[in-house]
Structure 1
């Protein structure tokens, strides 16, 4: 995938043979499109032409169905590891939180209550930060790994776990750095004002596929994402928002039975400490694992296909991909 010329950016050399005198120019980034209407070529999960929103969503679902062991398997492992470790990290602070919730104001002084509350909050925040960091690591790995698989799926190429990992491995640390940097920039934008944060989120939404597929540096990936989103911010925002909504609905549908089952184990008690029971947290974790196994690959695949769509629209990459897929005279 990354070895094919189809994913290189327009600024990178295309490794094409020199044009001979009198020879017609090769169709690519800097050449005019072929004359006349061309039949739609679909070697993989999407047609190699600018995509409609429904085709992007359908392409993401089709990719998950064609590569279930790679995508669903990897997502299940990542979700299970991150969620279970997060649960284990927070369990030691469960008793402190339960004790704070159950405090009787008639039997403790204000200073004792503040001390217990401070200790519980500190422990809970520490556990939450560790859980978020674990989730970040898992999400970075999964998004980059799935990016490689979707790149093969677009071209209709088979891929094994070993091949995908070998292609993604050199990109792991740069992708982690890019994810942390974009998260920091977007968080600052959200803190200052929500609108700049949302604007930056959309502007840098394509950093991961640019960095992994084009094998470029972190700063170059940010520039590539900005260039691809420029002029199509609202369309990109709409597709990303639709993806978030679909993921939220799927998560809610999957998590609802586990939430109800957790409430049933406590007899639907109104006691706030019941929601902090080990049993209810375990059930919530199971629901989160199942939901993440579906939603994380879906959102990652949509992002990659959105990146492909933007490049086909703005850079004529469909011609390059047709060559890489074995069409167009190759």
Structure 2
């Protein structure tokens, strides 16, 4: 669980700058970012509810896994959420790069690249999530390290169009920078888990009085906050690593869509 070189990275990752710029982009484009994350998050929940039930779908309680068939049903819900979440990620990555370059946001234009990347994105996301969970089971730190290794898989697939080589490409880009990234993603996970916990807590209070639809909207809306910021941050991490490792600018990275 080490980066393979003994020396320090030639250039600093600039974690503080990445966080600051991510917040800036997120704040300036809060509405479109949140809408995209909310819509696809809600779609994933709506499809999952008939499969595993409302409480399990929204995270109020854990899935009931009593046998192999129940486990398959439960994981099918997870795959659905990964699929809708991956499509949202593909859209938001392109939005983040346009925002960084000061270009207009064109959600319709993002659909084609997102659709072309969705199959490898979903399959690799499933592999990534399994590796991450295995790492967490062993200890929290290995899980964070695995997350750091594969942290820029999404932009590698969507922006660089490397297809099923996304995990390998991410591992190459994050080499020598994995511990700073692990620390950064630990903070992001704390943020996301805090938001999700608050959403679940509020849903427990609201659903009995206002109904499941209100609870679903609340949870999807709150979860979209962490999702949107995390994708923007991932986009900027990828830009920084490409600049360090490949010597390319964000203009060159996004020229593939011009």
Please tell me the TM-score bracket, short chain as reference.
0.7 to 0.9
Query: d(CA) in 2 for partners of 1:190 and 1:249?
Result: 18
| Alpha-carbon shift at residue 78 of structure 1 (Å) | 0.7
Match of 1:90 in 2: 52
Match of 1:307 in 2: 238
Match of 1:115 in 2: none
Q: Which residue of the other structure, out of 55, 77, 92, is the alignment partner of 2:17?
A: 55
Match of 2:180 in 1: 235
| Alpha-carbon shift at residue 151 of structure 1 (Å) | 1.9
Larger RCO (CA under 8 A, 6+ residues apart): 1
Report SS of the residue matched to 1:167.
helix
- What TM-score, normalized to structure 2? 0.75
Q: Which residue of the other structure, out of 177, 181, 187, is the alignment partner of 2:127?
A: 181
| Alpha-carbon shift at residue 240 of structure 1 (Å) | 0.9
- What TM-score, normalized to structure 1? 0.61
Match of 1:244 in 2: 189
Match of 2:84 in 1: 138
Task: Give 1 or 2 for the bigger CA radius of gyration.
Answer: 1
1:86–1:236 CA distance, 2 compared to 1 (3 A): same
Query: d(CA) in 2 for partners of 1:218 and 1:210?
Result: 10
| Alpha-carbon shift at residue 312 of structure 1 (Å) | 2.8
Return the structure number with greater helix share. 2
Query: d(CA) in 2 for partners of 1:141 and 1:135?
Result: 10
RMSD value, Cα: 3.4
1:286–1:168 CA distance, 2 compared to 1 (3 A): closer
1:316–1:83 CA distance, 2 compared to 1 (3 A): same
Give 5+ residue unaligned stretches, structure 2.
Answer: 1-10, 57-63
Task: Work out whether residues 195 and 223 of structure 2, in 8 Å CA contact, stay in contact via their aligned partners in 1.
Answer: no
Q: Note the alpha carbon deviations across 1:195-231, whole angstroms, 9 max, x for none.
A: 5444322111111111211122322x32321122211
Task: Work out whether residues 148 and 182 of structure 2, in 8 Å CA contact, stay in contact via their aligned partners in 1.
Answer: yes
Give 5+ residue unaligned stretches, structure 1.
Answer: 1-48, 95-118, 266-277, 326-330
1:129 matched to 2:75 = yes
Bigger Cα displacement from structure 2, 69-78 vs 141-150: 69-78
